[in-house]
């Protein structure tokens, strides 16, 4: 009887050990990834990344869990990029202007009036050329998953309306940490001042800069309209956001995991386009209600002022070839 009890006890212990081991094995099979970015939770691009996380979980039946950390919780855009490069962070969303410091070909997006209209822009994003450019940062340990529409950037200021390039003379205008963006603002007559996005509200309040340039949803959701009461829709650039994954993380994924994530990213691109159109209309309505004077100046003087910037890239054959290819898209 004692032998039987010992055998039964051993069997129960063995079963418990197997159950615990199985539980640990199941737990370790779940891959957890983090996305860090600098936008507010109400921003269309943040919502698109939340959609990406949901779709990835659905496609993988919970085997991949993505958590999104907004509002620079994990660092600035540049810091998140650097974390991706060493594999300490899985994914991030950055403006393509910031990417040009890592992958020079992305400077084409910061060039003035590179796209004729939204249709032209989306055709490029979805073209073979657009996808090739998206993958170009891989040698810098950054793999592009998709573009996110960020509309067009226009000037907003504290003290006066910008109706012609001459109105920018003497004004300190915040730009992203992009040499091309700096050059553009300076060419239009302003004094470009790179400042981190999270520091801009205070910089506008304290007069460190006289204005900035961005799309309507970002202008509204950042609450910069509380300080800047003039918005000039001259749409000088159409700089997309880019969703990236660390190549260190990507190369560690199985082929099936890669398919799940890429499919979810593609779907989030389509979802974000819809959200962006709605958010742009809402943002313009809200800032007008808050007392912002919104004008639509003639773009011709702005285009003429910076018209030579594209031709200057003839000295950089690879970049100039991309410029010509974009312009040739019908």
pLDDT, tens digit, for every residue of 266-303? 999 999 999 999 999 999 999 999 999 999 999 999 99
- The CATH number given to 153-238+283-328 is 3.40.190.170
Q: Is the pLDDT of residue 37 over 70?
A: yes
pLDDT tens, 169-187?
999 999 988 888 999 999 9
Does 2-103+119-150+239-282 match 153-238+283-328 in CATH topology?
Answer: yes
**Rounded to whole angstroms, how far apart are CA atoms 300 and 177?**
26
Average pLDDT, the chain: 91
Q: Judge whether residue 19 has pLDDT over 90.
A: no
* Residue whose C-alpha is closest to residue 104's, from 176, 178, 174, 37: 178
Looking at residue 105, what is its pLDDT?
A: 87
Residue 234 DSSP symbol: E
C-alpha span between 95 and 150 (Å, rounded): 9
Predicted confidence band at 28 (pLDDT cuts at 50, 70, 90)?
A: low
- Condensed to tens digits (0 to 9), the pLDDT of residues 89-109 reads 999 999 998 888 788 889 899
pLDDT of residue 205: 98
pLDDT at 148: 98
> With contact defined as beta carbons under 8 Å apart, do 278 and 149 qualify?
no
CATH of 2-103+119-150+239-282, one of 3.40.190.170, 1.10.20.10, 3.90.550.10, 3.40.50.300: 3.40.190.170
pLDDT at site 97: 85
pLDDT of residue 52: 98
Task: Calculate what percentage of the chain has a pLDDT beyond 90.
Answer: 81
Question: Would you state the pLDDT for residue 101?
Answer: 79
Higher pLDDT: 20 or 42? It is 42
Can you spell out the DSSP letters for 51-87? HHHHHHHHHTTTSEEEEEE-TTTT--HHHHHHHHHTT
pLDDT tens, position by position, 176-218? 888 889 999 999 999 999 998 889 999 999 999 999 999 999 9
Q: Tell me, what's the pLDDT at 211?
A: 98
Domain ranges of the chain: 2-103+119-150+239-282, 153-238+283-328
pLDDT at 22 over 80: no
């Amino acid at each position: 009887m004692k032998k039987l009890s010992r055998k039964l006890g051993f069997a129960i212990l063995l079963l418990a050990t197997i159950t615990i081991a199985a539980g640990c094995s199941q737990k370790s099979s779940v891959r957890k990834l983090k996305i860090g970015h600098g936008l507010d939770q109400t921003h269309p691009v943040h919502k698109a990344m939340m959609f990406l996380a949901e779709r990835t979980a659905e496609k993988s039946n919970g085997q991949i869990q993505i958590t999104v950390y907004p509002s620079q919780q994990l660092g600035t855009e540049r810091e998140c990029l650097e974390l991706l490069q060493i594999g300490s962070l899985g994914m991030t969303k950055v403006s393509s202007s910031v990417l040009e410091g890592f992958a020079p070909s992305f400077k084409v997006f910061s060039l003035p009036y590179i796209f004729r209209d939204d249709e032209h822009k989306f055709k490029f994003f979805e073209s073979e050329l657009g996808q090739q450019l998206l993958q170009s940062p891989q040698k810098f340990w950054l793999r592009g998953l998709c573009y996110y529409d960020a509309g067009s950037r226009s000037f907003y200021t504290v003290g006066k309306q910008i109706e012609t390039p001459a109105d920018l003379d003497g004004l300190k205008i915040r730009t992203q940490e992009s040499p091309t963006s700096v050059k553009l603002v300076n060419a239009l007559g302003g004094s470009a001042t790179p400042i981190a996005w999270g520091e801009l509200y205070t910089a506008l309040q304290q007069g460190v800069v006289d204005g900035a340039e961005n799309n309507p949803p970002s202008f509204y959701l950042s609450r910069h309209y509380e300080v800047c009461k003039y918005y000039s829709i001259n749409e000088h650039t159409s700089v997309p956001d880019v969703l990236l994954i660390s190549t260190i993380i990507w190369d560690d994924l199985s082929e099936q995991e890669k398919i799940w994530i890429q499919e979810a990213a593609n779907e989030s691109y389509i979802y974000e386009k819809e959200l962006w159109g709605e958010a742009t209309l809402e943002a313009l309505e809200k800032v007008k209600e808050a007392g912002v004077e919104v004008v639509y100046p003639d773009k011709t003087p702005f285009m003429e002022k910076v018209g030579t910037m594209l031709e200057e890239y003839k000295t950089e054959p690879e970049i100039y070839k991309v410029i010509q290819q974009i312009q040739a898209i019908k």
